Amino acid sequence: MNKSRTFVLIAALWLVLPVACMTQTAQAQTASPTPAPAGTQTPDPQNDRLVKIEQQIADAKSSADNAWMLTSSALVLMMTGPGLALFYGGLVRKKNVLATMMQSFAMMAIVTTTWAIFGYTLAFGDGGSFIGGLHNLFLKGVGAAPDTAYAATIPAQTFMVYQLMFAIITPALITGAFAERMKFSAMAAFMVLWSIVVYSPMAHMVWGKNGLLNASLGGRFPTLDFAGGTVVHITSGVSALVCALYMGKRVGYPKQNMPPHSVVLSFIGACLLWVGWFGFNAGSALGAGSLATSAFVATHFAAATAALGWGAAEWFRNGKPSALGAISGAVAGLVAITPAAGFVGPMSALAIGLIAGVFCYFMVAKVKARFGYDDTLDAFGVHGAGGTIGALLTGLFANSMVNPMFKDAKGNTMASGWLEGNAHQMLNQLVGVVIAWVLAAVGTIVILKLVDMTIGLRVSEEEEIQGLDLSQHGEEGYYYEVST
Amino acid sequence: MTKVEAVIRTSKLDAVKDALHEIGVEGMTVLEVRGHGRQKGHTEFYRGQEYTVDLIPKTKVELVLADVMVEKAVQAISVAARTGKIGDGKIFLSRVDDVIRIRNEERGEGAL
C-alpha cells in the first residue's frame, strides 16, 4: 500500500514538471491566424475592404461553429456524468451504487489528465497508419489556430477538448461489464493502459491523419464512422465482453436475484444520454451547418424506433413492455446510429434504430443467457452488438445526397453505400469492424493479464458480498438513520 | 386478553380499519410486511432475465383485545378483508398475559 502511494506521488511530480515548462511554448503557438493578402503592391482601398469583409465572414462562421462545438463538448461530457453514471448506477444493487458511479466519474478525471499529456497526440497527432506521433505531446501546438485537416473553422483546442469527451466516455462504457466486482485500483490502472493501447490507436486509424481506415483523409480502407461506432462502441463493447469472460461471474450469479436497485435512476440517466447524444453525433459534423442538423435528426429518429423495437420485442415475449426495456432500446438505437448519423437520411435512421432495438434485445435477453457470461450491465450486448450492427448498416444505408464522401478523379460525387450502388463499401465497413474487434480483444486481454499479475483484478469474496461502496470507498450510497 | 394478528392485503387496510372502528376497537399497530402463504409470488423481467419474487408485500394489523371483543373483531376483519381469492391473508389469535400502560403503570384490561 505504502509503496504504491510513493509511486503515485513520484509519477505525479514527474508529470507536472514538464507540463509546467511546456505551457509557455504552447501558448506562444496559439496566436490567431490572419491570412496575409497575397500580392498587394499598391494600396487599393476597395481590395482592402474586401479582404476585411472576407475575414469578418470567416470569423463569424468560426464563432458560430465554435459555439456549437463547445456546446457539443459539454453535452458529451454530460453523457458520462451524470448520464452513464446514473444509468449504470441504477442497474446495480444498492451496495454498489457509489462505486459504479465513481468508475464513470473517475474517467472524467483520469482520462482528461492522460489526454492532455499523451492521449491526444497518440490519437490525432501526425503519424503513421496506426497511431499518432508525439508532435502534440503536452498539447504542444494545440491552440487557437485551427487544425485544417480536422476542422478548419474551429480552434484546434476546441477539437481537442471535444475529442477528449469521447475518450472519457468510451472506457466508462466498459465498466458496465465488470460492475460489482472489480477493485477500484485495478480499474484505474486498466483504464489508463486501455486508453493508450486500444483507444488512441483506434481513434487514429479512423479519424487521424493518414489513419488506415480514415474515409476523408485518404485511408487505405475508407471506413465510414461518423461519430464512433467502431472507435467508441465496438472497442468498448468487445473489451467489455473480454473483461466479463476473463473476470468471471459475480458471487451468486445467476442463481441469486440481482434486480436493478433503482430503474428510476437508470431512467434519468438514459434520458440524459439521449440528449447528450446530440452533442456526440450532431457535434461530429465539427461545425454548425446543415450536416449537423441531418445528424441530429438521424440520431433522434433512431433512438425512437429502437425504443419501440426493444419494447415491442419484450411485449411480445414477456407480455409487458418494461421501462428498462424502453430505455435500453433507446440507448441501443443511439449506439447503432452513431457511425451512420452523418451519412444517412431520416428514413434510413428509422430503419437502423428499429433493427438495432430488436437485435440488441435478442443479444441481451437470449445470447447472454445461452452463453452464461456475466456482462453485468450489458455493455457488450448494447455497445458491442449495437456498434457492430450500426457499422455494417452504415455501409448499407450511407447516401451521397446526405454527405458526399467519395469523389472520382474528376471530382464527381460517387455512391456512398450499398443501397446506392456501392457494394464495395460493405467490405470496407467489415475491415473496420474486424480491426476494431481484434484490437479491442487482444489489447484488453494483454492489459487484464498485466493488471491481474501486479494489482489483482477482483475484490475478495467477502468484499464483494459487503459491496464495493464500503469495501472500496468506505461510504454508503444510502444512509438511513433509525431515528433523527 | 387476546392478541389478534391479521395479515391482510395492503389494499384492504382502510376497509379493515373502518370496520374495527365501527365495533369500537380503539387502538391498533400496523406493519408493512413481506411473506407468502399459498399464494405464489410473481415474476419480474429485467432485460429478459426472469426473477421470481416470492415474498409478497402485505400489511399486518395487530390488536390486543379484551376477550369479549375478540369474536366481533375477527368477524369485522374477515368480512372487510375478504375478496374470495387466494391471498386474502390469515388471522392469528394468541393469549396475552398482561398489559402495562407506560404512562402510569396501570395493568390488565384497564390498560388497553
Residue to substitute from A88, A92, A253, A257, interface B, most B β-carbons within 10 A: A257
Residue by residue, pLDDT tens for chain A (484 residues) are 455 666 665 566 565 555 444 444 444 444 445 555 555 567 788 999 999 999 999 999 999 999 999 999 999 999 999 999 999 999 999 999 999 999 999 999 999 999 999 999 999 999 999 999 999 999 999 999 999 999 999 999 999 999 999 999 999 999 999 999 999 999 999 999 999 999 999 999 999 999 999 998 888 999 999 999 999 999 999 999 999 999 999 999 988 889 999 999 999 999 999 999 999 999 999 999 999 999 999 999 999 999 999 999 999 999 999 999 999 999 999 999 999 999 999 999 999 999 999 999 999 999 998 998 999 999 999 999 999 999 999 999 999 999 999 998 898 999 999 999 999 999 999 999 999 999 999 999 999 999 999 999 999 999 999 999 999 999 999 987 765 5
Q: Closest partner residue to B51 among A259, A361, A366, by Cβ?
A: A259
| Contact predicate B73/B24, CB 8 Å | no
Residue of A nearest to B51 (CA): A257
Contact residues, A window 412-451, toward B, CB-based 8 Å cutoff: none
How distant is the Cα of A310 from the closest Cα of chain B, in angstroms? 10
**Does the beta carbon of B51 lie under 8 angstroms from any beta carbon of chain A?**
yes
**Does the beta carbon of A315 lie under 8 angstroms from any beta carbon of chain B?**
no
Domain assignment of residue A43, yes or no: no
How distant is the Cα of B41 from the closest Cα of chain A, in angstroms? 14
Domain assignment of residue A239, yes or no: yes
| Contact predicate B33/B13, CB 8 Å | no
What lies within 8 Å, CB to CB, of A43 at 6+ separation is none
**Does the beta carbon of A266 lie under 8 angstroms from any beta carbon of chain B?**
no
**HEC letters along A85-117:** HHHHHHHCCHHHHHHHHHHHHHHHHHHHHHHHH
In chain A, what residues touch B47 (CB-CB under 8 Å)? 324-325, 328, 364-365, 378
Three cell numbers, residue A399: 447516401
Three cell numbers, residue A123: 490519437
Residue to substitute from A310, A317, A318, A362, interface B, most B β-carbons within 10 A: A318
How distant is the Cα of B78 from the closest Cα of chain A, in angstroms? 34
How distant is the Cα of B56 from the closest Cα of chain A, in angstroms? 15
Q: Closest partner residue to B47 among A254, A257, A365, by Cβ?
A: A365
Burial (Cβ within 10 Å: 0-12, 13-18, ≥19) of residue B110? exposed
Contact residues, B window 84-103, toward A, CB-based 8 Å cutoff: none
Distance of CA B61 to the CA centre of its chain: 3
Q: B84: which DSSP letter?
A: S
**Does the beta carbon of B54 lie under 8 angstroms from any beta carbon of chain A?**
no
Residue to substitute from B47, B53, B54, B55, interface A, most A β-carbons within 10 A: B47
| Contact predicate A93/A180, CB 8 Å | yes
Report long-range pairs for B46-49 (Cβ below 8 Å, ≥24 apart): B46/A259, B46/A260, B46/A322, B46/A324, B47/A324, B47/A325, B47/A328, B47/A364, B47/A365, B47/A378, B48/A314, B48/A317, B48/A318, B48/A361, B48/A364, B48/A365, B48/A366, B48/A369, B49/A254, B49/A365, B49/A369
Question: What domain range is A265 assigned to?
Answer: 63-472
Domain assignment of residue A47, yes or no: no
Distance of CA A45 to the CA centre of its chain: 50
Partners of residue A458 on adjacent β-strands: A182
Three cell numbers, residue A266: 437508470
CB atoms inside a 10 Å sphere around CB A421? 12
Grouping H, G, I as helix, E, B as strand and the rest as coil, residue B24 is coil
| Contact predicate A449/A242, CB 8 Å | no
> According to the model, what pLDDT value does residue B49 have?
87
CB contact under 8 A, B48 and A369: yes
Residue B42 pLDDT class (50, 70, 90 cuts) = confident
**Domains held by chain A: number:** 1
| Contact predicate B112/B99, CB 8 Å | yes
**Does the beta carbon of B24 lie under 8 angstroms from any beta carbon of chain A?**
no
Domain assignment of residue A203, yes or no: yes
| Distance from C-alpha of B96 to C-alpha of B4, rounded to nearest angstrom | 10
Domain assignment of residue A4, yes or no: no
- A-B CB pairs within 8 A amount to 30
| Distance from C-alpha of A35 to C-alpha of A46, rounded to nearest angstrom | 18
In chain B, what residues touch A318 (CB-CB under 8 Å)? 45, 48
Sign of torsion over alpha carbons A21, A24, A30, A34: negative
| Distance from C-alpha of B77 to C-alpha of A174, rounded to nearest angstrom | 55
Q: What are phi and psi of A42, to 5 degrees?
A: -100, 145
The domains found in chain B, sorted by start residue, are 2-111 (3.30.70.120)
CB contact under 8 A, A257 and B53: yes
CB contact under 8 A, A369 and B51: no
| Distance from C-alpha of A177 to C-alpha of A317, rounded to nearest angstrom | 25
How distant is the Cα of A475 from the closest Cα of chain B, in angstroms? 28
In chain B, what residues touch A314 (CB-CB under 8 Å)? 45, 48
Q: B111: which DSSP letter?
A: G
| Distance from C-alpha of A313 to C-alpha of A322, rounded to nearest angstrom | 11
**Does the beta carbon of B18 lie under 8 angstroms from any beta carbon of chain A?**
no
| Contact predicate A15/A117, CB 8 Å | yes
Domain assignment of residue A106, yes or no: yes
| Distance from C-alpha of B57 to C-alpha of A233, rounded to nearest angstrom | 41
**Does the beta carbon of A323 lie under 8 angstroms from any beta carbon of chain B?**
no
Three cell numbers, residue A212: 488506415
Domain assignment of residue A398, yes or no: yes
Residue to substitute from A253, A315, A322, interface B, most B β-carbons within 10 A: A322
- Predicted TM-score (pTM) of the model is 0.86
CATH of the domain at A85: 1.10.3430.10
Closest CA to A416 of A396, A430, A387: A396
CB contact under 8 A, A365 and B46: no
CB contact under 8 A, B45 and A366: no
Nearest-10 Cα torsion for A80, A136, A138, A285: -20
Q: Closest partner residue to A378 among B47, B51, B52, by Cβ?
A: B47
Rounded to whole angstroms, the maximal C-alpha distance in chain A is: 87
Q: Model confidence over B50-63: pLDDT tens digits?
A: 888 888 889 999 99
CB contact under 8 A, A254 and B45: no
Q: A36: which DSSP letter?
A: P
Rounded to 10 deg, the angle between the A156-174 and A45-78 helix axes is: 10
Residue of A nearest to B45 (CA): A318
Q: Closest partner residue to A364 among B48, B51, B53, by Cβ?
A: B48
Residue of B nearest to A255 (CA): B51
Tell which wins on pLDDT, A309 or B35: A309
**HEC letters along A135-192:** CCHHHCCCCCCCCCCCCCCCCHHHHHHHHHHHHHHHHHHHCCCCCCCECHHHHHHHHH
